[in-house]
Amino acid sequence: MAVVFFDILLLDALYAQIPVLRLTQKIGWDVVISLKQNLPELYQSAVRLFARRSPDDTLTEKRDHKTYQVQLWDTEGLPFTVNNPEVVRVVRSEEVLERNRYRQGKRTAHRTDHEWLWVTQLDPQVFPAAIIRKLGHSRWKHENNGWMDLTQYWAFKHGFLHACQHRPKQVNASGDRELVPNRGLAAVTLILLIAFALSSAFVIRHSKLARRDHCTAVAVAAQLHASISKAPPSIRAPD
């Protein structure tokens, strides 16, 4: 029996495509995908539909000294695209973010409006709109705890990814010189991502510094580096 590491994929609007939906359905994964105007028919259909009716749910959420006033709309049965009329569910969230800011030494109230839409095929009886909203917003953890850390602390930048463009050349069967196959970049990238995943799992799931003392992953890494940099204790030979 195969080991299941996750059940739901949280994806950016770039992946709002029929091949992605069909592939995830074939594998058995559910998805929550950001919906933007890269799918104009679905986006406009959902916005027009929601504009004609009151929200299906409202809630107030307080987090990190911020207050979110949220209105939620939820509908099923919208065609994904004109050419691919596979029906999907769309959830819309209108949010007013209230927080205090300091301007010129004075504390003032500040409000900003935000709109979010997501595409999913999750059962609304099991995953109501409020849960879809929470799942959709948690995708930002991928950016902050994944790609941002990789670029800032693991040198996973464009320069790294394009380093293997400067490859030696070899003579092919026709006598022409050509670049050798670029197999090293994939291997090095995979090793880096495995190391990042193992390090993150250690910090989040095992390290007492992170769980008890709320140290950041960078602080834990510094402690690990300091511990392995010390000279080993001297061991006296037995008499």
Over residues 158-198, the pLDDT tens digits come to: 666 666 556 678 888 888 888 777 777 777 888 888 888 88
Domain boundaries, the chain: 8-127, 144-229
Task: Enter the pTM of the model.
Answer: 0.69
Over residues 65-113, the pLDDT tens digits come to: 889 999 999 999 999 887 888 899 999 999 999 988 877 778 888 889 9
Percentage of residues of the chain with pLDDT beyond 90? 34
> What would the DSSP string read from start to end of 154-180?
S--SHHHHTGGGS--EEE-TTS-EEEP
The dihedral formed by the CA atoms of 94, 82, 14 and 57, expressed in degrees to the nearest 10: 20
Are the CB atoms for 22 and 81 separated by under 8 Å?
no
Q: Which of 87, 81, 77, 74 is nearest to 118 (CA)?
A: 74
The whole-angstrom separation of Cα 7 and Cα 31 is: 8
